[in-house]
Chain A
Amino acid sequence: MKKLLGLFVFFLLLYGLPILITFEPPERSFHYHLARDIGYYGVLTLGAGVLIISGGIDLSMGSVVGLTATLLPMLLVRVSEDSLLQQLAALLAVLAVGMFIGLLHGLLVTKLRLQPFVVTLCGLFIYRGLARWISGEQVMGLGNQFAPLKGFLYADPVGPLPRFFVIFLILAMLVGIFLHATVYGRYLFAIGGNERAARFAGIAVDRYKILAYVICSVLSAFAGILYVMQHNSALPSNTGNFYELYAIAAAVLGGCSLRGGEGTVPGMVLGTAIIWLLERLTLMLGIRSELLSTVVGAFLLAGVILEEILRRFQAEPRSE
């Protein structure tokens, strides 16, 4: 609780920074683009977070984004622009690819007892290669077709809020309820906390671990769809590169422990918000954009160090 509050205060301070520096509120587009980016990358943070809580990790998320973002235009150009049903089928097919990938990861990790890091690292290479191969290294785009679909998923704001942000809030709520209020979520925390004890408590550990991988990969595939909606096209060799690292960083910043068993959805939301606010600020304050990842890394490191210091401070014996 304290940690969430701390993150929230930190976010507010950062958010107020532009006013302190320039003495004038940022333009409206600053807020809009920030909300859009939080919405987009937040979808991935949720996937990474659920998996990290269950004690897993997925390094292939960015490649899954790339593969599905390449696949979607290829499917969509084959369906009629007038048939929403066919378009929906294309979206579902892309999500099914994500589901299949997650299932594969989950089965390899649980049934063959392979290390998640290794399995998904292989995935990172494999899906990226597949994306480049199926597209023949061509940029896959939608042109100016499918305006209603793009409007529904990306372009049309909901009141003042970008679509992505609203979609993300809905997903965050669903994942939050799943993680914190259902039996399954509680099982994921237990498995991440102590897998063997969870098994001794009668939890079907393998089943729920696989579920966590599926959730993560399906959310990655969904992020692939959103990517195409925003950018209208995907670059097979590039789209989604490093996204998994931003997602993991946001989840960790938000309080997910890589040891598993710890984390909250509000934390994931705040973690994502802080990282992408930092990005906006570096742009706005004229810091060279090449330094963006350096800024993010430095802040994450500072956060982790601060947390460790606080932990030690609290563990210090008090005199009585």
Chain B
Amino acid sequence: MNTPFASKTERAATSPVLEAVGICKAFPGVQALSHVSVRLYPGEILAVVGENGAGKSTLMKILAGVLQPDSGQIFLDGRPVHFRSVQEAQSHGIALIHQELNLVPQLDVAANIFLGREPTCAGPLRWLSSDIYNQAAIYTRDLGLQIPLTIPVKHLPVGQQQLVEIAKALSLSSRILIMDEPTSSLTQRESERLFEIIRRLSRQGVSIIYISHRLREVEQIADRVTVLRDGRNAGELQRGQIHHEAMVRLMVGRELRQFYHREFAQTSDNRVLVRVSDLRLHPGQRQPIHFSLRHGEIVGLAGLMGSGRTRLVETLFGIRPKLTGQIYLDGEPLSIRSPRDAIRAGIYLVPEDRKQHGLILSDSVRHNISLSSLRELSRYRFIDWRREKDLAQRLVQQLAIRTPHLDQPVGLLSGGNQQKTVLARWLARQPRWLLLDEPTRGIDVNAKSEIYALIDALVQQGVAILFVSSEMEEILGLCDRVLVMHQGELAGELPRTQMSEEAIMRLATGGAKLP
């Protein structure tokens, strides 16, 4: 990373630092990659985009030595290389930073940076040397980080943990950093901080491969974009061509029309369905939360990461206890102390983290769909297997869940189909109020539009939906109104006519509502 490189304008003349040619990789039942090629120039920020299942992660794992290709060749500085392990790739200066970070939470920052390569004192006993902090400081200073080196990383916010990973990669003298969805759990500010650092690294000559679903970020940061579709190269965009629409077009291979499918048909029934009054989630809250939803209304719940949106929906669903407050459904006061109470009333939550909270991953699609309806599907608590199967069959068809059969473990499905399975569990019952917490996070474009269509169909039946999303376009495209949270408080509400990215961000960042 210390080699001075040519400036960006001269780069066209330089040769790629890393090049993969004709990479193929198959897994049982799928051809994950077929003849994919990719080039990376010194100091370049290359974004790799594509739908889920397009093969991005597989390609990155091959470049970083996690997986070996079935065929194809990787060149480093023009010389062919074979990485049989992550260590080998690392020794050639390639580091992969995973979505899930690889830090030891209990160890401090310096210890994490030098994990496995701890500086030791001279002598046969190899005592750990306190010089580790001075050495760690070299790398954190390089990144312009101001993090205390002596505190356990578990006490750091996720954004800083990610920077520790980067410092670790640099300490391995990496000159190629592969980052897989680095901003998926960062706040806006943390993301921007990360971009600054990425740009800085790129100026220092480090090449970066950046994978993201967030196309706005790609617009912001990428020098060049490679698009993958169904395990093949689908196109490439140079600086100046990198636009949201252009990327989406290459990703899906067709123009997206009416992506946010919403009829906004005014239903005749616009009575209030849900009223939440005087809700207090935690003792530090200054203002109690009040809001209501009408039949067939989609109300967005916007806010930055950590603003309390998930806490609010989990409290409404009875996962967390509330301090005060009352929920009325059709004018009836409800007593919700557990998810069971909420479910009995027809209030269902699609949780933010579908793998941790939504699904029994090792269990079948069938069992996951029927899980909350077992009592209705049973006689004297004996499960009626035929009715269970019929129900699962019906919902798999209705939601177009792509699974080889009903007994497929749900963990083997793609993200979009997993999310549809969570939704199917609630559609098996008659929903009245759906709480959707980031329902389209990390799922591909097609599954997204299917979920939007489903939401639209539900509201036309009079279901009310509280829709938590960090994707501004989604909120603007789908919602009748939006509630905005800021630091655990309900900061304001915007009707559709006043909804704009700026107005929402203003409230979400603690600014006042525009007059």
Contacts and interface: CB of A to CB of B under 8 A. Distances in A.
Nearest to B341: A202
A181 B383 contact: yes
Contacts, number: 84
A193 B26 contact: no
Contacts of A194: 356, 359-362
Interface in A30-72: none
Q: In this complex, which of B70, B317, B362, B382 has the most chain A Cβ atoms within 10 angstroms of its Cβ?
A: B362
B340 A204 contact: yes
Given A184-B381, A196-B356, A201-B372, A317 B339 contact: no
A187 B342 CA distance: 18
A167 to B, nearest CB: 23
B31 interface: yes
Contacts of B371: 186, 190, 198, 201, 203
B26 A190 contact: no
Given A189-B363, A201-B371, A261-B362, A182 B381 contact: yes
B292 to A, nearest CB: 24
A23 interface: no
Given A181-B382, A186-B367, A261 B360 contact: yes
A208 to B, nearest CB: 12
Where chain B touches its partner, the secondary structure class is mixed
A93 B317 CA distance: 42
A78 interface: no
Interface string A290-320: 0000000000000000000000001111111
Q: In this complex, which of B31, B317, B349, B360 has the most chain A Cβ atoms within 10 angstroms of its Cβ?
A: B360
Nearest to B314: A200
A197 interface: yes
Contacts of B375: 183
Interface string B366-403: 01000110110010011100000000000000000000
A187 B373 CA distance: 11
A200 B363 contact: no
B360 A202 contact: no
Contact of A318 (B28, B338, B339, B374): B28
A244 interface: no
Given A182-B381, A194-B360, A320 B367 contact: no
Interface residues of B, number: 33
A168 to B, nearest CB: 23
Interface in A137-186: 181-184, 186
Interface string B9-53: 000000000000000011110010000000000000000000000
Given A199-B319, A200-B319, A183 B374 contact: yes
Contacts of A279: none
Given A186-B367, A200-B357, A320-B31, 12 more contacts: A182-B378, A186-B371, A189-B367, A190-B367, A197-B356, A197-B357, A198-B360, A202-B338, A202-B372, A261-B360, A317-B25, A317-B27
Interface of A: 181-184, 186-187, 189-190, 193-194, 196-204, 261-262, 314-320
12 contacts: A183-B381, A186-B383, A189-B360, A190-B363, A190-B367, A198-B371, A199-B319, A200-B358, A204-B338, A314-B28, A315-B28, A319-B70
